[in-house]
Structure 1
Amino acid sequence: MGVNGEKKIARPLRWGMVGGGRTGQVGYKHRTGALRDNTAYQLLAGAFDVDYERCKDFGRNLGVAEDRLYPDYKTMFEEEAKRPDGIEVVSIATPNFTHYEITKAALNAGLHVICEKPLFFSVEEGEEIKKLAEEKGKIVGVTYGFSGFQLLLQMRSMIENGDLGKVHMIELSYTHGFACSDIGDKKNEAQKWRVDPKKSGPSFVLGDLSTHTFYMSQLICPDIKLKEVLCDRQSFVKSRAPLEDNAYVLMHYDNGAVGRMWVSSVDAGSMDSQHIRIVGSKASVEFNDWQPNELIYEVQGKPNQKLYRGMPYLSDACNEFERMNALHTEGLGDSWANIYLKIAMAIDAKNRGDEEALKKINYPDINAGIDGIRWITKCVESADKGGVWVPFND
């Protein structure tokens, strides 16, 4: 077993949260991820809610001391800096439009940052924060929470080993049907801001969903760089316009490969699934997050195979963060735990000045966050120009 709760860093990191309170959708995922291995983080402080009374009530129920429950992030950063046991890393689980200012304030307060995606509204903001993080000697991690499934690294290893031959096609999708009507837009607090361009940015499902799958494809195929995209997006629930609830994206890669992404929140009947298929000249490999414990491996001219999580025939990179062994299933909570543990290891390496160790830790960093911003920006640009090819890097 790769992970069994033993410490991988010298001591747990003193950790706080901004957002992620009772009415949010993602806060529990953050806490599950961070606290799964109780040797990595300790939750000591929080500004969990814009409603201070609700923040205090919620924080008490989490076991956080009341004098470390704060009305806002600015107060938390200021007061925690005065304490000898003040927080050293903060997670930001708030609406998109707040990420930039909170991340900047956290870095200026001397804190490492773990932030929700999409990171910011513009690549320029991302580059500014990257420079600031480098100046402060701090880590900025991004919670692409699905990217901790170990079998994604098995796919990466198979491509690196040449098992698929030359990669020709990258097929991606992330769809669900839970926004087929506008009921949630009006009644669900976590949904309202996602369909408000002032708060969500220039996209809905491209930012909220497809950034996950796009990052996963980059994790699997790190040496295949996206060259250009063509996007067509729709607002089938008309009140969401100009934000899309469905989009199709075509991709061209620098090695000659092509790709497609379908992203939708109006795929009626679909129960929130991501699908990744990498097609090579010799074989294909396929992953679905509904069945994250197995891969479909198809070699041309041979019977199809299922590769199961936790087995010794998988790569060392895949099995390094194995938690349950092959007889027991793993799920999204395990994926989040892997991401949080890797970020903790990156923070620890950064604190120790061990840049060589840091380079070996594969986690969603500030560069992944910037690429996610660029992905959204370029898809929106292409769609708004009438569905034309636009260069990914320019």
Structure 2
Amino acid sequence: MFNEESHLKQPIRWGMVGGGRGSQIGYSHRNAALRDGLFTLVASAFDLNAQRGRDFSINLGVDENRSYATYQEMFAQEKLREDGIQAVSIATPNSTHFEICKAALEAGLHVICEKPLTFTVSEAYQLKALAHQKNKLIGVMYGYSGFPMIHQAREMVRRGDLGDIRVVNAQFAHGFHNEEYEKNDPSLKWRVTPAASGPTYVIGDIGTHAYFLCEMITELEVESLCCMRQSFIESRAPLEDNAHIMLKFKGGAVGTLWASAVNAGSMHQQKIRIVGEKASIEWWDEFPNQLRYEIQGEAPRILERGMSYLYQDDQGVSCNRIGGGHAEGYFESWANLYARFAHAFDASDKGDKVTLERIWFPSVDAGIEGTRLCEKCVESADNGAQWVNYKDEGINNGTS
């Protein structure tokens, strides 16, 4: 069970940029951060509309003197306070991630950022270098990676329960944007606008989630990929609302990834199936408490969250919050990640390298690879769906 006694001496003083009134993602961050008393929200710059952001902030209980009009003002003023913020979450459009992350690190803050981390791999490496220089951490909000059964899947692969991995099929293919809803939906409009969203839409928005689960569970390295993408709603071009990606991994395994917002009738369809030489596992985020385990020649097994036959998490910050049979879900997954972020930030500030090294969380490296996926898919798709090397010399080691 989740160890609620594993608290900090003092909660991490925390601020937020973006994610204001009416933001589903903003609420998700706040719900997760405040769930276990590991963070306390003391400052905000919620909205481009300063008055609306201030009103919302005060309604949430933030001191009116720490409800700021801009993130620049928040970072500058909080740095002057003895009780200033120690960490910040960034829940803004993609185009702003790099500049806000950079400013936060320069202000001496730990960062939790929405994905994709940046527009380019080069920018992402700049943030990694700056974080190292400032001795601060960057967490990237891959919210589905906090589900306990994802960690069970990862451990099964690590322990060889599946044998050598041969095939990985991943997808995140919903149908909610099968028409041009952005005409009347500002929250969607920016996602299909290149200046705000970047070089991709569904690859960066949801494909990176599926890809991160693939990376996390299998720990395979991509060697090359081939991508084709479509804008079925023509006004979204050049940004895609559907993409198919083929992957070749080092060591011989292969994979596919389907990202779509036009899978009419579908809710999420975020699934990952990992096929090994002896057995396969499959997880579906609409049924997150179950993991399907199929051994060749035997009846399929459904592994259930919270049961004693599962591998146990020795980190104590991302395990079951309630007993098996009860449904844990999205908010629990996010809270598990925020618990990891909190313990990692605390260990970093204390210089406790032993503790820090054993806490897994989606780090800046996860952000780099999500950005790389977007960059390489665009390169492939815009050159006739040709195969491209996943890592280029220079970009690979962060020297460019």
Of stretches 352-361 and 68-77 in structure 1, the one that deviates more from structure 2 is: 352-361
Tell me the amino acid that sits aligned with residue 11 of structure 1.
Q
Percent pairwise identity: 49
Query: Cα offset for 1:6?
Result: 2.6
Indicate the residue corresponding to 1:65 in structure 2: 63
Asked if 2 retains the 8 angstrom alpha-carbon contact of 1:16 and 1:87, the reply is yes
- Identify which of 225, 228, 237 aligns with 1:229: 225
Query: Cα offset for 1:318?
Result: 8.2
Give 4+ residue runs of structure 1 displaced > 4 Å after superposition: none
SS at match of 1:214: helix
1:255 aligns with 2:251: yes
Asked if 1 retains the 8 angstrom alpha-carbon contact of 2:315 and 2:359, the reply is no
- What CA distance in whole angstroms lies between the structure 2 residues aligned with 1:8 and 1:210? 34
Indicate the residue corresponding to 1:92 in structure 2: 90
- What CA distance in whole angstroms lies between the structure 1 residues aligned with 2:114 and 2:314? 25
In structure 1, stretches of 5+ residues that fail to align are: none
1:199 aligns with 2:196: yes
- Identify which of 272, 276, 298 aligns with 2:272: 276
SS at match of 1:317: coil
Tell me the amino acid that sits aligned with residue 10 of structure 2.
R
Matching of residues 1-394 of structure 1 within 5 Å: 1-3=1-3, 5-38=4-37, 40-183=38-181, 185-222=182-219, 224-317=220-313, 320=316, 321-394=319-392
Of stretches 347-356 and 164-173 in structure 1, the one that deviates more from structure 2 is: 347-356
- What CA distance in whole angstroms lies between the structure 2 residues aligned with 1:225 and 1:317? 24
Indicate the residue corresponding to 2:397 in structure 1: none
Of stretches 117-126 and 8-17 in structure 1, the one that deviates more from structure 2 is: 8-17
- What CA distance in whole angstroms lies between the structure 2 residues aligned with 1:37 and 1:78? 28
Query: Cα offset for 1:192?
Result: 1.1
- What CA distance in whole angstroms lies between the structure 1 residues aligned with 2:179 and 2:377? 24
Query: Cα offset for 1:317?
Result: 2.4
- What CA distance in whole angstroms lies between the structure 1 residues aligned with 2:387 and 2:117? 24
SS at match of 1:316: coil
- What CA distance in whole angstroms lies between the structure 1 residues aligned with 2:269 and 2:346? 33
- What CA distance in whole angstroms lies between the structure 2 residues aligned with 1:308 and 1:7? 25
- What CA distance in whole angstroms lies between the structure 1 residues aligned with 2:345 and 2:25? 22
Deviations 1:243-263, CA, capped at 9 Å, x for gaps: 000000000000100000111
Asked if 1 retains the 8 angstrom alpha-carbon contact of 2:224 and 2:390, the reply is yes
- Structure 2 CA distance for partners of 1:306 and 1:126, relative to 1, 3 Å: same
Asked if 2 retains the 8 angstrom alpha-carbon contact of 1:25 and 1:190, the reply is no
Query: Cα offset for 1:188?
Result: 1.5
- What CA distance in whole angstroms lies between the structure 1 residues aligned with 2:379 and 2:365? 21
Tell me the amino acid that sits aligned with residue 242 of structure 1.
P
SS at match of 1:45: strand
- What CA distance in whole angstroms lies between the structure 1 residues aligned with 2:9 and 2:384? 54
Provide the alpha-carbon RMSD of the alignment.
Answer: 1.1
- What CA distance in whole angstroms lies between the structure 2 residues aligned with 1:156 and 1:382? 29
Counting matched residue pairs gives: 390
SS at match of 2:102: helix
Asked if 1 retains the 8 angstrom alpha-carbon contact of 2:315 and 2:358, the reply is no
Deviations 1:9-42, CA, capped at 9 Å, x for gaps: 322100000000014331001011101111x100
Tell me the amino acid that sits aligned with residue 294 of structure 2.
E
Asked if 1 retains the 8 angstrom alpha-carbon contact of 2:246 and 2:255, the reply is yes
- Structure 2 CA distance for partners of 1:263 and 1:155, relative to 1, 3 Å: same
Tell me the amino acid that sits aligned with residue 304 of structure 1.
P
